[in-house]
Structures are given as structure tokens and as C-alpha cells.
Amino acid sequence: MYGGVNFEPYRARLEELVGGRMDSIETYPASEGFIAFQDDKDDSGLLLNTASGIFFEFIPVEKAFDKNPDRLMLSQVELHKDYALVINNNAGLWGYDIGDCVRFVSLDPYKLIVSGRVKHYISAFGEHVIGKEVEEAILKVASEHKISIVEFTVAPQVNPKDRSAPFHEWFVEFNIVPEDMKKFAREVDEEMCKQNIYYEDLIKGNILQPLKIRPMQKDAFREYMKSQGKLGGQNKVPRLSNDRKIADLLAAWTLK
């Protein structure tokens, strides 16, 4: 049983250590309340916990940073759209944005997946890329190449030193580095285009050049988190940043 982070990027490595496939159940607990849980191991959707003293509201993610965004009730949500999750509970929280981004995969019953953190996104050019998209893109390609990912994060490179077009820069620690990195990166970029039409339009319009992958040294992310005083199970490496703060620090652990 797990919760608090997407397990899929780590599943292959853990099952390699264990020696076989494991059944798993995802939970969605938070300090503010127990929000949802997976009630069927063959269905990745999490059943929303609607009978525990929490009144849920949802803000379309594209309006999450507006000054006074409209908050939708559960009866108003739509499938496959991303929402910032807001809760009101019997412990005294009112209109509280917990910072998570969710996406409904069923409305009867209400089931959702956690698609990322509201503040973890890339939209330097209006692409609105979220965590779920980058995770699904790289995991699909990694699975096809039969390799596993230890950890990764993505940031925009707005001003390349060679003055070429901007691009998304992926810092990836591989368990085994792909033999053909250019082919691997190209396939991840193709998957990203399938995941996000805004990103696809920017690539086709030559506003962005295809993404670039920087393979990282062994334990690079562990050392980075240690350098920030955040080494430990309760701290997570952001999948996405809309600036270069993390990327510039990680550059010290890039494979030469």
C-alpha cells in the first residue's frame, strides 16, 4: 500500500529487488483528511471519500492562480479535466487549497487520479504541462526499452547558450542508460506531443525544439536532496519546475 507519490516510476526497480510482480493499492491521505483510496486493484481510479466530514470543491487548473476563481461542486466536475482540490472539513478548514491537482476518471462512482501538484508545472510558452503527462510519457518509453528510471525532473530552457530555440530539459537518473539516447529522447518527445496538444503545437510551430535529456550520475537526486537538507521519505523531488532553480543546481551531477 502506498500514497503521497506516484509509485509507477519506482515500481520496476522495486519489483526487481523483490523478485517479481506485486499487487498494490494506492491511498490518498493528507494531513487535512483522508481524501480517496483505490477500492479495486485492477482499477487505478481512487474512490473519493465523500462521507468523512469533508466538503470538496474544485477549481479548473487553468484558473487556479486567479484572484477569486469560481469553485465547482462535485456535481459540476467533468471527466478528464484537471482541477485544483479545495476542501472544507469538520476540523475547521474552509476553502482550503491543498495544492494537489486531480482528474476524474469516473463520475459514478466518483473516482479520480492525482495528476500532480498545482505549483509543479511548465508553461513558459503556454504549454500547460503537468506532472502526470511527463510521468506517463517517460514511463511508456522506458518500458518499451526495458529500462527503469530512478528519478527525474523537467525544467524549461528558455535561453540556450547557442541561441537556438528553447526546449524542455529533462534531468534523468537511469538505472541503465539507454544505448541510443537521441532515439530515447525523440520517442519521449513524441509521447509528450500525444499527451499535450499545446506542447505539440509549439513543437510543430518550431517555437520549441524537441526535448533534451541530460543523464545524471548515480545517486544524483539523492545528493541534490541531501545538499538542500531535504533527504528523507517525506520530501519529494518536484517532477516539474517553471524556472531553472532546481535545474541549475542539478547540473553539477550531470554525466559528462
Q: What are phi and psi of 18, to 5 degrees?
A: -75, -35
pLDDT at 208: 97
Q: Which amino acid is at 50?
A: T
Residues of the chain with pLDDT under 50: none
pLDDT of 6 reads: 76
pLDDT at 13: 80
C-alpha triplet 115, 136, 142: angle, nearest 5°? 150
pLDDT at 130: 86
Residue 200: alpha-carbon gap to chain centroid: 18
Give me the architecture of the 121-253 domain, per CATH. 2-Layer Sandwich (3.30)
CA dihedral 214, 221, 44, 107 (to 10 degrees): -90
Share of the chain above pLDDT 70, in %: 100
* Cα(198)–Cα(83) distance, integer angstroms: 18
In the chain, helix, strand, coil percent, each to 5?
30, 30, 40
pLDDT of residue 128: 85
Domains in the chain: boundaries: 2-117, 121-253
pLDDT value of position 117: 84
